[in-house]
Amino acid sequence: MFRRLLAHPIVHIALTGAIALSVFFCVFPDVVPRFSWLVNYAVVLMLFFLVAGLVFFFLKQPKLTFAFFGGCALLCFFLKYSVKGDGIQRWRDDMFNERLVKGNEPEPVRTELKIAHFNLSHLGRKADLPDVIGKLDADILSVHEVTPMGDRLLKEAFAESYPFSQTLVDIGIYGMAVYSKYEIENIDTFYYKDVPNLCGQITKEGEAFNFVSVHTLPALNEYSKRRLQQHLKVVEGEVNRQVGPLFLFGDFNSVTWSGQIQQLLDDTGLMESRMGFMPYSVSGGLSFTDLPFDHIFYTGHFTCLNFQIIQGTDGQHLGILGAYRFPKKRLHG
């Protein structure tokens, strides 16, 4: 009875139509703004289509199997080509490095640095944050939604390991701070309306680079979506005004493959630290429900060595961690 129901043409048309519409809303979210939120769950949909295709394959439903696998493939291509990073180049460099360095003179020492970004609202107990951060050994800590109490706690906990800091505390959601092992120079703040954005310059081992810390508001409706686009335009102008190596990090409240982030990366030439669209934690596990709203973007002066999601003991999202080489190593090409 169940198989006969699945074999009915109306069921085929309904499910195939639902798959097609889901893919369409993910790839073209601006066409029907009411369903633009689906783009955030493109990875979840892709995996669901894959599992559903396997289920219908074992149920011997070839048409539904083809439909779900087709939807999975389309979303996979969409996600793959929506991530603007240098993951393939990283792999090639590692392979060439293994082959060319053996038997040759040691390659010059290059500066390596680690950047971690957190949002205090993601942590249930603020007292746990020093323990989490201490294990990462990051050179730079970007922290958002920093309250006066949170700032005091972090400064007391890391007075020795992170002696330099710049903070914009707020009792609401606009507080942000950058804690560094190295001196922060050329500090400035620029605003989109009432939302602050922090920028500055840090030098490690004689290599100077700029940073911009951004916290946007979520796009919950058409008004807030336009507000997000305008905010990112202001950020774009600041990034393009900066000269030299630069990191752009923070809470963007948009996934990597969204139109807003894609436009930002196209207009600034920045790259995404994530190697793909599947989020990996520090422990190496996959987090299928984790939406990548926080990002670390960087200019072509760097090579991203590693990028990981930082999770708490109960699996909650705490932040992100990226490791980079500077200046960029070029072994071929």
Distance of alpha carbon 120 from alpha carbon 123, whole angstroms:
5
Q: What is the pTM of this model?
A: 0.83
- The sheet carrying 294-298 orders its strands as 184-192, 195-204, 207-215, 246-251, 294-298, 271-272
Position 267 confidence tier, pLDDT thresholds 50, 70, 90: very high
Distance of alpha carbon 272 from alpha carbon 296, whole angstroms:
7
Classify 185 as helix, strand or coil: strand
In words, the CATH class of domain 111-326 is alpha beta
Whether the pLDDT of residue 225 is over 90: the answer is no
Whether the pLDDT of residue 333 is over 60: the answer is no
Distance of alpha carbon 83 from alpha carbon 80, whole angstroms:
6
Amino acid at 26: C
Q: Are 321 and 310 in contact (CB under 8 A)?
A: yes
**One-character DSSP codes across 268-285:** H--EES-SSSS-BBTTS-
Q: Are 202 and 184 in contact (CB under 8 A)?
A: yes
Distance of alpha carbon 4 from alpha carbon 191, whole angstroms:
61
For residue 200, how far is the Cα from the chain centroid? Answer: 21
pLDDT at 142: 94
Distance of alpha carbon 309 from alpha carbon 290, whole angstroms:
9
pLDDT over 90, % of the chain: 43
In degrees and rounded to multiples of 5, residue 300 shows phi and psi of -70, 0
* Predicted confidence (pLDDT) per residue in 189-206, tens digit: 999 988 999 999 999 988
pLDDT at 214: 96
Q: 25 CB contacts (<8 Å, ≥6 apart)?
A: 31, 32, 35, 36, 38, 39
- The sheet carrying 317-326 orders its strands as 164-168, 176-180, 140-144, 111-119, 317-326, 303-311
Whether the pLDDT of residue 122 is over 80: the answer is no
* Predicted confidence (pLDDT) per residue in 162-189, tens digit: 999 999 988 888 899 999 999 999 999 9
Choice between 55 and 7, residue whose per-residue pLDDT is larger: 55
